[in-house]
Amino acid sequence: MKSQNRKTSETKREKPWGGRFTQATDSLVERFTASVHYDWRLYRHDIRGSRAHARMLARRGIIGQDDLEAIIKGLDEIEHEIEQGVFRWRQDLEDVHMNIERALVEKVGEPGKRLHTARSRNDQVALDVRMYLRDEMGRIDRLLACLQGSFVAQAKARSDLLMPGYTHLQRAQPVLWAHHMLAYFEMFKRDRQRLKDLLKRVNLCPLGSAALAGTGFPIDRETVARELDFDGVTANSMDAVGDRDFIIEFLAASSLIMAHLSRLSEEMVLWSSSEFSFVDLPDSFCTGSSIMPQKKNPDVPELVRGKTGRVYGHLMGLLTTLKGLPLAYNRDLQEDKEALFDTIDTVAMSIEVMIGVVSGMKPRRDRLASAVKTGFLTATDLADYLVGRGVPFREAHRIVGQAVAMCVEQGRELTDLSLAELKELSPLIEQDVFDVLAPEGSVGSRNVPGGTAPHQVKTAISRAEDWLNDNGAL
């Protein structure tokens, strides 16, 4: 009911453009449609795009040289004011673009009114978002490279350390700590490759598409694209102003990054628990309890795990926003930015804090050494041993299963069985079986590319370092 009793004076605001309307914009509509409270962060890219556009207009004789100089001077002053925190953002001007344009007109007069010649806010915002995302993808890529480096450092520092590998969260086979660390290196390698591939579609310049049909002015799109470090220009003006596929692709790539961070977080939570006690996480990346003095909580990994759903939600939200939109531009597309901005902030900070967790975590050698000796981790090796002596694998599997069942009943491990007891299972078993049953023997036998044998892991570490050196940030 309060909305019906607003003072009339609140609605009498001049529209920021055009003479089409006979009524001022209602203040409620201003608040509802405004985006400047979040899209202000595009200001550097908006100003950079405007400078390039103005220079092109001057080169093509569409505006004069005096106009160009005034525009550039005014834009420089506005950028300085924003960076100094003294620029006044106005909600009634809706967005970052109109705020900067109005400020420019107030500073330089008529030349400022000529800046928008041959462009629309439709291609202007598409330009700004592409440039902004390009920069932020580079930042995220650099953080991912640093995270990869943390895993390589962990692998190199403890290349001889053994630990249990798991399937179904049940102890399965022994692996090298370094091998496990490098598994995450590969995950984040794929994430970086996805970002690199996406950059091909992000880095196309839409400016010149205008509202939807292009412009009748003799502009030079290719020169503007080169000045703004784009690889080329978009091919269709209608598609260019209505396209947000590149944002959806980024949200999808970000969702996979968060999925990998969440899997890592889950292991950090498990490994640091009393039940596992595999690692000590750095105190500086853990928190305490408000009531239990003994607690050291893995809140950072838990929050990263929780924020994963937030990023997934943004992906589904924007997919839903786009699914029913006709060509070309629709105001619905304004909803892309909060999802994009929050995803970028969430992903970047999540990577950054996990760099600290991974770099600072310390595996507990005593606990890991004990863990690899229990749980029948070398049962598969015993089966392989029998196969090497001519026993069909399925028969070997049955024999070892019987051995495990006997050990479970007696509370023993395979390594506790005597040679005589093993020979009762199969007369083909000899003294050398104990080398096979040792965790070190199991790990050493996996000497195939991608395996956990020390030689293969050493090669993988070297290959990972080379890949990092060869793949700089976007």
Which pLDDT tens digit goes with each residue over 250-270? Answer: 999 999 999 999 999 999 999
Task: Flag whether 38 is in a domain.
Answer: yes
Average the pLDDT over 316-322 and give the result. 98
Distance (Å, whole) CA 90 – CA 161: 60
Query: How many residues are listed for the chain in this entry?
Result: 474
Residues 135, 103 within the same domain: no
Residues 435, 314 within the same domain: no
Average the pLDDT over 32-60 and give the result. 97
Residue of 3, 168, 284, 418 marked active site: 168
Residues 265, 315 within the same domain: yes
Task: Flag whether 462 is in a domain.
Answer: no
Which pLDDT tens digit goes with each residue over 280-309? Answer: 999 999 898 888 888 899 999 999 999 999
Residue where one domain finishes, among candidates 117, 141, 163: 117
Task: Flag whether 268 is in a domain.
Answer: yes
Average the pLDDT over 180-203 and give the result. 98
Q: Is 159 a catalytic residue?
A: no
- For residue 405, what is the domain's CATH number? 1.10.40.30
Q: Is 168 a catalytic residue?
A: yes
pTM for this one? 0.93
Residues 364, 376 within the same domain: no
Which pLDDT tens digit goes with each residue over 413-424? Answer: 999 999 999 999
Task: Flag whether 6 is in a domain.
Answer: no
Residues 163, 247 within the same domain: yes
Q: What is the mean pLDDT of the chain?
A: 94
Task: Flag whether 471 is in a domain.
Answer: no
- Please check the confidence at residue 22 and state whether its pLDDT lies above 90: no
Residue of 289, 370, 455, 462 marked active site: 289
Which pLDDT tens digit goes with each residue over 387-438? Answer: 999 999 999 999 999 999 999 999 999 999 999 999 999 999 999 999 999 9
* Res 123: pLDDT: 98
* Res 15: pLDDT: 57
Residues 172, 100 within the same domain: no
Task: Flag whether 17 is in a domain.
Answer: no
* Res 3: pLDDT: 39
For the chain, percent of residues with pLDDT exceeding 70:
96
Task: Flag whether 394 is in a domain.
Answer: yes
* Res 297: pLDDT: 93
- Please check the confidence at residue 211 and state whether its pLDDT lies above 90: yes
**pLDDT band at residue 12 using 50, 70 and 90 as cut-offs:** very low
- Please check the confidence at residue 328 and state whether its pLDDT lies above 70: yes
- Please check the confidence at residue 216 and state whether its pLDDT lies above 90: yes
Residues 59, 136 within the same domain: no
Which pLDDT tens digit goes with each residue over 111-143? Answer: 999 999 999 999 999 999 999 999 999 999 999
- Please check the confidence at residue 37 and state whether its pLDDT lies above 50: yes
Average the pLDDT over 221-245 and give the result. 98
Residues 432, 360 within the same domain: no
* Res 469: pLDDT: 97
Residues 289, 363 within the same domain: yes
Task: Flag whether 155 is in a domain.
Answer: yes
**pLDDT band at residue 6 using 50, 70 and 90 as cut-offs:** very low
* Res 7: pLDDT: 40
Residues 318, 389 within the same domain: no
Residue where one domain finishes, among candidates 316, 336, 368: 368
Residue where one domain finishes, among candidates 73, 96, 117: 117
Domain that holds residue 406: 371-453
**pLDDT band at residue 18 using 50, 70 and 90 as cut-offs:** low
